[in-house]
Structure 1
């Protein structure tokens, strides 16, 4: 085994024969990986035999162990002790490497540099020399001396015969070029190295700067310089495609990409998204439409979606991409967006955490997080509700909404009294309803009569698990009998949140009424937004509110105009996907006409969108790239769904 990388490392041989001497026991433990126990025996040995026949090895091992466990200061003391006590030791060359590594780890860069330079000059092990050269390149990088770092790493690339070290050098060189160099530095380094490696990589980096700036002239000139210097480079075919993109757009017209599935199982979804985008484009006036082109890619064409995104992103006139549609495709494309520094703006992907992937990922979709928070705020702040029971399905939609709603209610000073789950396949919800305090008529009257006869009080709502109690509205007590008894069920909570879908919610509501939970506010998410809920639950829908990201029957002027234009254009009503896509396209086009004429300006201005009047809700883009939307609060009236906010 090896406990320290780099040249001069000491690798374990076969474990020695078991013995009782401290040194032999230490070696046995060391080679079996039990370093802390080995350290005790090595220390015991050098204390008893500080100049013994195995003292050199013991001091070296003690240094190795401390270096391995991150105690570099102590390791250095052991290495110096070895150097001083045994100036002719066979360990002197590896000790020099370990000392340099420890000094570098401790941030003592000057001391480390002296040692690494000495290794390059005098170490007989060629691999150790190359390893030291790599460390010197790292030191230059840490000091922001990128020119010297690249010079050393280039030398390793050209001269080193060790594939591992050469690979590490290439990786560090690429990292410096990709992450550390500005445009001026890249130009200066190209002039310094002039040709060969790493000029090819520097030219590719320079291309990325000109692409981001949409500097057509310099972009094309850099491509031609690359072809001149590297006529047989493996990147040439790809770069020739870049040149073709530029030459096919001599007017330098701005482009907006769209990546949607147009074939296969998701073709209907893709078509609805594309129609929303197309409508936004069609409603631009002639002058506005002349400023840009829409380029559409089919994301279900039998190849990775990220590849379609990359083809669009490589075009320097492409300033933003609408899509992808699916959350997993957004994840797969996030690295491409960052590589090409182009905003990808999904109108539909709703999985948690997507905008956090990097600063170039945006979305304009109604997420479960948004639904849960918005509904909780509406319930507490607008409806004045404080105590809630949650009845949720054990599926991702219900579980996620339950968690978000609960957290937001508590943050607003509300209380979750109980949270009860059900299986999505259920049709009988008696068990769950009884668990939250429901009670059938006969049981309710029987309990009331027993309490009156025994002169016992009702349950105290202050105790856990007490969610309901009888509330006598009317009754006549004569000769031990109660006539005309009318009893309601008093609840310890104000509302029931049911983050399910309309088919099951429609079955639950009448059963709630049957068990006398009939005067409580019911709350739901977008899964309620279907006329089928009214058809199933019917007259039992009394006080119900839910939220959604789009409401076709809204009286808001922008929604009605959108509905009319969409139907006139496509002959059908839009869905929420069409609405969100329409808003996404309009946000991008609005910024484009506000001088966001390259992808960096577009990204910056996307982060500054505030209260955009979208048909899918007033929209603000947060610094994370997430859309904060003012959703539609909906309710029921005369067997119709109505907007209430």
Structure 2
């Protein structure tokens, strides 16, 4: 009996299952009927049920012609139900699986909505732009644009708009980002960048939706530019070890613009920044100046700071003229970087060649500042000496601010003592010079007076005023060679008895003759009641070039660069200046000799 009951139960269960399957087969809707029922649920705002129904249909009809509708509407129903994360996944999966669907633009549109709700405004704008790019002239694009415009105007930052312009430009077929970026830049006071953005928009959308507004904005900027001051940045070390030179640089610039404070009806505004001789501060100062939209920057003083400032200025797009920095290659750091003072390496090589070829000197020593630029100069001098058959017996370096140079002089003296001993042994020198006949012993070698063909000292005048007497104290007889640091009346006044016959190479000499120099010299002494030095004269020439450029209409960075690139045979107070055929690095070199209180030009 138990077996019969079990069999009946099993049979009954089988019949029920078969009947259920048969019933399901009878009630399973067609894809089209299922779509209509699901749409009825959606239109009745029963979004949760609609989402489930569309997802169910997508699963049971994977190959049906309505598959894209099922998938899209499932995501849209989730969105309407407020299940945004699930809806977002649904839309993105739809975009990936159906890249050619007619619902693609709408899918991006809803992804944008979801991003907006989560506060991701940049992502929202990116999705809106993609939606518009798919059907740019459709009703959908018109609706999307109506949502995009207030987003660009009110919610996105200047940084967001800049990012969009740089990274999703391929989707901005209407130029809407370019236009609103220009508006945001205009609001922030960045007129230069706004002008670039509006012009970029008009170049590709001359008859676009925002063309009239863009032209009006350009007119507004240009009208503003005719009344705003023309800003000129000045970088100089006004504190620290090189502050005296920094003050001279500023004095040279101010001599030009204190006397002509207005050009073409616009004020000239000098923005002066202290670099303290520090490259990091120089680069930071350039970035600070950028907010004032300067037409050009003059400075800084030394090469290390100039390199940092030139890189920063080039990145921002501001022309920079360094009057005095002379490291080779600074002008190559950007298309609007200019050097008035020739590379010190060229000056050093020219001096070495003159010393060997004209003066017949074959043996040299070097005591140089230890900074990178000075080491490059030292290398150029040494290379030319060896190239021409000479010898550098010793090279030493000192730190900025150093006052005791004994450790730098001693190695040179020691080498010369050894060479003297060799000459004594060879009978070339009378040994009695170094022998104390009364005490019956050799003099201490530290007291030996030794000779050296020439000692190359490429430092600054304040360093030389301390260094040269210490060389004499260490009983080294030599002829001094140097660069522009020697071209200083103050140096001659302080240690003139030590440096007679010293020879130096420079691009400028303050005792020059000619109308330009005489005019500058007179004006400088009248204003500051002191003799002008090299730094002031070179800075004056840089400022005079800028003044001439402005008088010729170069009031923006681009027009300033265009003008300076054409400068050729400009006779300044300090030297002749050429940028046109010299890769923006001037190349004037002269050689002088100190004679009494005069500087005689030798070459």
TM-score by length of 2: 0.54
1:296 aligns with 2:270: yes
d(CA) in 2 for partners of 1:613, 1:377: 27
Residues 172, 306 of structure 1: CA spacing in aligned structure 2 closer, same or farther, 3 A cutoff? Answer: same
TM-score by length of 1: 0.51
CA contact (8 A) 2:483 2:506 kept: yes
Q: 1:193 aligns with which of 170, 174, 177?
A: 174
Corresponding residue of 2:14: none
d(CA) in 2 for partners of 1:362, 1:157: 46
Residues 623, 359 of structure 1: CA spacing in aligned structure 2 closer, same or farther, 3 A cutoff? Answer: farther
Deviation per CA, 1:577-608: give whole Å up to 9, x if none: 32111100222233444564654343133233
CA contact (8 A) 2:321 2:337 kept: yes
CA shift for structure 1 position 400 = 3.4
CA shift for structure 1 position 418 = 2.6
Q: 1:305 aligns with which of 260, 285, 292?
A: 285
CA shift for structure 1 position 345 = 2.0
CA contact (8 A) 2:236 2:249 kept: no
Corresponding residue of 2:565: 607
1:390 aligns with 2:365: yes
1:582 aligns with 2:540: yes
Q: Which has the higher helix share?
A: 2
Matches within 5 A, 1:68-79: none
Corresponding residue of 1:498: 457
Q: 1:356 aligns with which of 332, 341, 354?
A: 332
Q: Give SS of 2:429's match.
A: strand
Corresponding residue of 2:412: 432
CA contact (8 A) 2:465 2:491 kept: yes
Deviation per CA, 1:261-294: give whole Å up to 9, x if none: 698768866654343223334667x9x9446642
d(CA) in 1 for partners of 2:528, 2:244: 13
Q: 2:382 aligns with which of 406, 409, 413?
A: 406
CA contact (8 A) 1:385 1:495 kept: no
Residues 569, 498 of structure 1: CA spacing in aligned structure 2 closer, same or farther, 3 A cutoff? Answer: closer
Q: Give SS of 2:297's match.
A: strand
1:418 aligns with 2:410: no
CA contact (8 A) 1:502 1:532 kept: no
d(CA) in 1 for partners of 2:502, 2:223: 59
d(CA) in 1 for partners of 2:537, 2:302: 16
CA shift for structure 1 position 155 = 2.5
CA contact (8 A) 1:392 1:398 kept: no
Q: Give SS of 1:568's match.
A: helix
d(CA) in 2 for partners of 1:591, 1:170: 32
Q: Give SS of 1:510's match.
A: helix
Larger radius of gyration: 2
Residues 437, 264 of structure 1: CA spacing in aligned structure 2 closer, same or farther, 3 A cutoff? Answer: closer
**Alignment length (residue pairs):** 424
Residues 261, 320 of structure 1: CA spacing in aligned structure 2 closer, same or farther, 3 A cutoff? Answer: closer
Residues 263, 402 of structure 1: CA spacing in aligned structure 2 closer, same or farther, 3 A cutoff? Answer: closer
d(CA) in 2 for partners of 1:119, 1:471: 101
Deviation per CA, 1:23-70: give whole Å up to 9, x if none: xxxxxxxxxxxxxxxxxxxxxxxxxxxxxxxxxxxxxxxxxxxxxxxx
Q: 1:470 aligns with which of 406, 429, 434?
A: 429
CA shift for structure 1 position 502 = 1.6
d(CA) in 1 for partners of 2:390, 2:473: 24
CA contact (8 A) 2:183 2:194 kept: no
Residues 576, 528 of structure 1: CA spacing in aligned structure 2 closer, same or farther, 3 A cutoff? Answer: closer
CA shift for structure 1 position 545 = 0.4
CA shift for structure 1 position 296 = 1.4
Q: Give SS of 2:292's match.
A: helix
RMSD of the alignment, in Å? 5.7
Structure 2 residues without counterparts, runs of 5 or longer: 1-92, 109-124, 135-158, 276-280, 432-448
Deviation per CA, 1:60-98: give whole Å up to 9, x if none: xxxxxxxxxxxxxxxxxxxxxxxxxxxxxxxxxxxxxxx
Matches within 5 A, 1:317-332: 319-323=295-299
CA shift for structure 1 position 631 = 4.2
CA contact (8 A) 1:507 1:536 kept: no
1:375 aligns with 2:351: yes
